[in-house]
């Protein structure tokens, strides 16, 4: 498996008010060379799940296992819906930015 999620959930704790459960009990397995789409209505947690997989968010509960290749440096790729370039960085620095953010 390339991606294995078991019982993954993400809860946000706002400064004020009740906690917000973004996703809960996500179980997902993705095999090598498998094409997977997450489909659902706006606000159902698709982006949260993807951000957990690529390392931008930590799950609150559950486990995530990634098979990142033999050297451990093959991060899952993502293309964001909106432009997320940092205008003060060069093109090369923008390409390298996700590795810095993810910290892997």
pLDDT (tens digit, 9 = 90+) per residue, 20-79?
999 999 999 998 888 888 999 999 999 999 999 988 899 999 999 988 776 655 666 666
Domain total in the chain: 1
Q: Is residue 29 a part of any domain in this protein? A: yes
3-state secondary structure of 99: helix
Q: Is residue 66 a part of any domain in this protein? A: yes
Q: Is residue 100 a part of any domain in this protein? A: no
What pLDDT shows up at residue 16?
Answer: 94
What pLDDT shows up at residue 103?
Answer: 42
Domain residue limits at 26: 3-79
C-alpha distances (whole Å) from 77 to each of 17, 20, 51 are 35, 27, 11
Q: Is residue 19 a part of any domain in this protein? A: yes
94 has pLDDT over 80 = no
Q: Is residue 50 a part of any domain in this protein? A: yes
Instruction: Assign 102 a pLDDT band (cuts: 50, 70, 90).
Output: very low
Q: Is residue 57 a part of any domain in this protein? A: yes
């Amino acid at each position: 498996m390339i991606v294995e999620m078991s019982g993954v959930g993400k809860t946000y704790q706002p400064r004020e008010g009740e906690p917000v459960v973004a996703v809960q009990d996500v179980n997902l397995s993705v095999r090598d060379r498998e094409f997977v789409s997450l489909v659902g209505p706006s606000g159902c947690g698709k982006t949260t799940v993807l951000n957990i997989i690529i390392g931008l968010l930590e799950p609150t509960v559950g486990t995530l296992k990634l098979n990142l290749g033999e050297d451990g440096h093959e991060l899952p790729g993502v293309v964001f819906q909106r432009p997320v370039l940092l205008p003060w960085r060069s093109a090369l620095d923008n390409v390298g930015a996700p590795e810095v953010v993810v910290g892997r």
